[in-house]
Amino acid sequence: MDEKLLFVCMGNICRSPAAEGIMVYLLEKAGLGGQVVCDSAGTIAYHVGEPPDRRMRAAATRRGIALRGTARKFSPADFDHFDRILVMDRANYEDILDLDPSGRRRPKVKLVCEYCRVYPDREVPDPYYGGDAGFEHVLDLLLDACSGLLDAIRSGHVDRNR
C-alpha cells in the first residue's frame, strides 16, 4: 500500500490536522494503521509550532478522533516526499501550485472534497472565525472525503499522471 498523504490548509491548525487525524483514525479502524503515512501542513507560517486549534480538538475528541502534532508550513520538498497532496479549498490549491512553476507535480495536488461521496461541497470551509457548528460541519465533510480517499487507496486507484 505504501501511500504518503499530505493534507494542507492555510494555517495548519484546524482543517488539515483534522483531516490527518480522521485519516489515521479510519486507517486504524480498517486495520491499516502504519501502512499509509499521513501528515499535514499550512500554506502560511503564522501558526508554526502551535498545536491544533482547541475547538477543533474538542470537536474531534467528542467523536473519538485524536488530533496531534504541531503546525508547519508546506515546503517545496513536500512535492517529492508525498504521493498525494490534498488541499482544503481553491485558495490552498492555487498557493501550492504556485510553488511548482513547472507544473510537473500538479497531478499530485487535489481538492480533498473530490473524494466526497455524500456531501456535494467542493471545498472545506475554514471554521476558525465561526462557532461550534462550523467545526462539526468540517468534521462531517472530512469524514466523508477521507472515507472516499481510503476506498480509492484500497482499490489501488492511482491518479493518472501522478
Catalytic residues: 9, 15, 126
Cα dihedral sign for 119, 125, 131, 132?
Answer: positive
b/e map 107-145, b = 16+ CB within 10 Å: ebbbbbbebbeeeebebbebbbeeeeebbebbbebbbbb
- Backbone conformation region of residue 64, classed left if phi is above 0, alpha if psi is from -120 to 50, else beta: left
Q: How far is it, in rounded angstroms, from Cα 21 to Cα 102?
A: 32
Contact 14, 53 (CB under 8 A): yes
